[in-house]
Amino acid sequence: MHRRVSRAQCNNCTCSPGLLSRTNRRSSMMARQINLKRTGTSSKSGSRKGSVFSIDASTLCQPETKEINTSKRLENLRLLMQEYDLGVYIVPSEDEHQSEYVSAIDQKRGFISGFQGSAGVAIITRDVTCMNSCPEGLAALSTDARYFSQAANELDFNWSLLRQGAVNEPSWEEWAIDNAVQMSLDSGSKIRIGVDPKLVTYGEYLKITEKIKARLHKNSKAEVELTAVKDNLISKIWEKFEVLPPAPTNLIKRLDLKYCGEEFTDKLNKIIRTIKANNGHALVVTALDEIAWLLNLRGADIMYNPLFYSYLIINANRDVILFVDSSRFDEDVSEYLTLNHVTVLDYNSFWTHIFDYSKDFNLENKKLLITRNTSWELVRNLKCTFTELPRSPIEDLKAIKNDVEIEGARLAGIKDGKALCQFFAWLEDQLLRKNEMIDEVQADKQLTEFRKKEENFVGLSFDTISASGANAAIIHYKPAPTNYSLINPDTIYLNDSGSHFLEGTTDITRTVHLGKPTYLEKRNYTLVLKGLIGLSDLQFPQNSKGAYLDSIARQHLWKYNLDYGHGTSHGIGSYLNVHEGPVSIGLRPAAFTTSIQPGNIISNEPGYYEEGEYGIRLENDMVVKETDKVFNGKKFYKFETLTKVPFCKKLIEVSMLTHDEKVWLNDYHRTIWTELSGFFVKDSVTHCWLFRETSAI
């Protein structure tokens, strides 16, 4: 049962499938108006036997419940663009700290476009020659391959989708500049491309400026410039359409040394050495996960990310200034920061402070260090010489876990393994033995309940991807209370989920089939599994870059002319962001410059997606370890798998596995049985499921 409406089903109205399905944007009244009709059975509610659920799509378009499309929002934005003399306006996904995931109040790109994915840029143009009272123009959303299907579903008719990385597809910068140049040629006037300077990095500003110069070199008659617009135009129109989300008020808490493994002062000493090594006198830190890691503090300002809004300045004399809302400290945190000589100032005072601070640096001829996350606005406020480091020293230090963090990650893997084994055993029991109807949202909630039973569980590390059938082909699919499917046991089901425990963070994906999979499903699943095993079992020399290892996971798919449109691996934080730089395996720029090192905790997640049919992804968490092997002076490293969840035996085409792959798989499953079986009552549903799924092949 798909609770969706397509344009073919709609009564020719202007609501879009995307707007109709936006999370938390439809009222409970609308949910009550959905007309579920059962046919072919009189059995009790909740049974799947002999029943079919259907939905009356016309009930989604009642006047009192219909969502507003983005037309009015774009109209209001273009009126403001006219007021600010802008021909193009850029709306990034990030907040002023360049966070990947942002709080509700910072979801400006989602507000204007309707697209709810975590990555993407919205570009809106205003036709400067249009004399109508309602300004006209174009709108485009650029995103990467993880979100192509999702964006196509969520964007309404006002928007074009720019498929980032696709052949012959312009980048969002090129699209914005090309449109600005054409408008300048058509109007004979200068076209200004506006952006909130807090929401783009200084590096992005330089990149766009260079692209504009290159483009104007070919079109000398056009005039285009990038303009900083300090008034965020989306914020100015937000309350005309929705209530502005409240600012976070959660407590900021201290993370005990038994979980983080290193004192703040020890971390600070390492950073001061980096400041001095770069002939600097101070470092400005803007990334929220870096500040949380350094101070051994955690918050909850961004959903699924244990962070708090803050800025930090560290100078070579060990002076540390933290800009934060101190009203959210408990007594323990206040005493801790005082004891460690951390000066606390109000979060909102950062901008005036950095202006005055840099003026003093200029008078004393001192140099400030900034990082690649530094916003254009911060640089605009600096009055002293500065050096942009190629990468934050905190990012590099944070990526190499200490012994306490690694042991915590192992424990987190066992805890989440227990929860997921219980979940998959429960799901099979409910669907096959009890003939219950379980939907994607129910499954998500039940898995969370299993996780909550584990000691020191803090929360989920990201929105659970609970996807049945064709939904599994949407790489970052998110079931919502008003947009989900029943889990069909005769199709593939994919679950990508993770937890935050005080000990560590997890990210795990399993794909299962409870019925009889097709040969192609088994073949493709096995190709993905072979890629995961190949990377898991790899030994590689030191200084190996993540990009060099990527083909190990893809090689078996490539033999069949298949591939997947996302990275193979990302770094994972220690009770921090589930996506953590700089380490990764894939083709992103950092993967070509960053070596995989002992202590890195990373994912291993090859996949394959048959759009409209099914999706396959398998994901384990791994820690990098040294071996005793050396060649020509280079050490060799290997991976230890931290995740403890079996693979779906029904989907494995055993004849495709080599002897070594079978050995790895049987050893892995034997380890899971040894470490987890004792937690479950003998002959219980979970115990029996685990015994079957971990038995040797």
With respect to residue 6, please indicate whether it lies within any of the assigned structural domains. Answer: no
Same domain assignment for residues 420 and 341? no
Structural domain contains residue 7: no
DSSP 595: B
Specify the long-range contacts of residues 53-56, CB closer than 8 Å, at least 24 apart: 53/1, 53/437, 53/486, 54/1, 55/1, 55/2, 55/3, 55/5
What is the C-alpha separation between 559 and 562, in angstroms, rounded? 7
Task: Compute the distance between CA of residue 180 and CA of residue 185 in angstroms, rounded to an integer.
Answer: 9
Q: Looking at the domain assignment, is residue 17 inside a domain?
A: no
- Write the pLDDT tens digit of every residue in 410-451: 999 999 999 999 999 999 999 999 999 999 999 999 999 999
Which of 399, 426, 444 finishes a domain? 399
Residue 421 lies in a domain: yes
Residue 225 near residue 192, CB atoms below 8 Å: yes
| Assigned domain for 392 exists | yes
d(CA 429, CA 685): 7
DSSP string, 355-408: HHHHHHHHHTT--EEE-TT-BHHHHHH--S-EEE-SS-HHHHHHHS--HHHHHH
The amino acid at 627:
T
β pairing state of 457-460 and 499-501: antiparallel
Domain limit, last residue, from 179, 203, 238: 238
- Domain CATH number, residue 572: 3.90.230.10
Q: What's the total number of domains in the chain?
A: 4
- Asked if the bond preceding 589 is cis, omega within 30° of 0, the reply is no
Q: Are 153 and 135 in contact (CB under 8 A)?
A: no
**Residue 415 shares a structural domain with residue 332:** no
* Angle, helices 546-558/519-536, rounded to nearest 10 degrees: 150
20 occurs within a structural domain: no
Task: State pLDDT tens for residues 181-193.
Answer: 999 999 999 999 9
Kindly give the pairing relationship between strand 191-195 and strand 88-91: parallel
Q: What is the mean pLDDT of each run of 10 residues along the chain (697 residues)?
A: 33 34 34 32 36 30 48 96 97 95 93 91 94 91 88 91 91 95 94 97 95 90 95 95 89 97 97 94 97 97 96 96 94 95 97 93 87 94 92 95 98 98 98 96 97 98 96 89 90 98 98 97 98 98 96 98 96 97 92 95 98 96 97 96 98 98 98 98 97 97
Query: Domain holding 175: CATH number?
Result: 3.40.350.10
Which residues constitute the domain of residue 661? 403-694
Distance CA 265, CA 262 (A): 8
Same domain, 112 and 180: yes
Position 469: which residue type? Answer: G
State the alpha helices, DSSP H only, in 190-283: 202-218, 233-238, 257-260, 264-277
Is 605 inside a domain boundary? yes
| Residues 215 and 247: beta-carbon distance below 8 Å | no
- Choose the final residue of a domain: 368, 399, 430: 399
Residues 328, 22: Cα–Cα separation, whole Å: 31
- Residues 395 and 538 reside in one and the same domain: no
Rg over alpha carbons for the chain, rounded to the nearest Å, is 26
What is the rounded distance in angstroms from the CA atom of residue 520 to the CA atom of residue 603?
Answer: 26
Q: Tell me, yes or no, whether 283 lies in a domain.
A: yes
Residue 37 token pair: 């009709």
313 close to 305: Cβ distance less than 8 angstroms: no
Residues 341 and 365 in one domain: yes
Q: How far apart are CA 210 and CA 229, in angstroms?
A: 19
Cα(637)–Cα(600) distance, integer angstroms: 11
Q: Looking at residue 147, what is its pLDDT?
A: 86
- What is the spatial distance between Cα 90 and Cα 172, in angstroms, rounded to a whole number? 9
Instruction: Determine contact, residues 690/673, Cβ cutoff 8 Å.
Output: yes
Asked if 358 and 409 sit in the same domain, the reply is no
Is residue 218 located within the same domain as residue 345? Answer: no
- The token pair that represents 672 in the structure block: 């899971």
Distances (CA, A) of 692 to 133, 438, 645, 650, 663: 69, 23, 13, 11, 17
Strands (E), 289-365: 297-298, 311-315, 320-323, 342-345
> How many other CB atoms are found less than 10 A from the CB of residue 560?
12
Closest CA to 443 of 507, 501, 504, 488: 488
* Three-point CA angle 549, 551, 557, nearest 5°: 145
Using DSSP's 3-state secondary structure scheme, residue 267 falls into helix
pTM of the predicted model, to two decimals?
0.88
How far is 30 from 28, CA to CA, in rounded Å? 5
Q: What is the 3-state secondary structure (H, E, C) of 550-580?
A: HHHHHHHHHCCCCCCCCCCEEECCCCCCCCE
Angle subtended at Cα 541 by Cα 661 and Cα 274, rounded to the nearest 5 degrees:
130
pLDDT of residue 218: 86
Quick one: 526 and 670 in the same domain? Answer: yes
pLDDT at 32: 31
- CA angle, 661 then 665 then 668, to 5°: 140
DSSP structure string for 353-364 = HHHHHHHHHHHT
Whether residue 209 is found in the same domain as residue 277: no
429 & 573 share domain: yes
Count CB-CB contacts under 10 A for residue 375: 24
Tokens 């399905």 sit on residue: 21
Task: Report the run of H or E that residue 529 belongs to, with start and end.
Answer: helix 519-536
The whole-angstrom distance between residue 74's C-alpha and the CA centroid of its chain comes to: 26
3-class state of residue 155 by DSSP = coil
| DSSP-derived secondary structure letter, 485 | B
- Same structural domain, 45 and 87: no
- Give the angle 572-576-580 at the CA atoms, nearest 5°: 35
Are residues 163 and 193 both part of a single domain?
yes
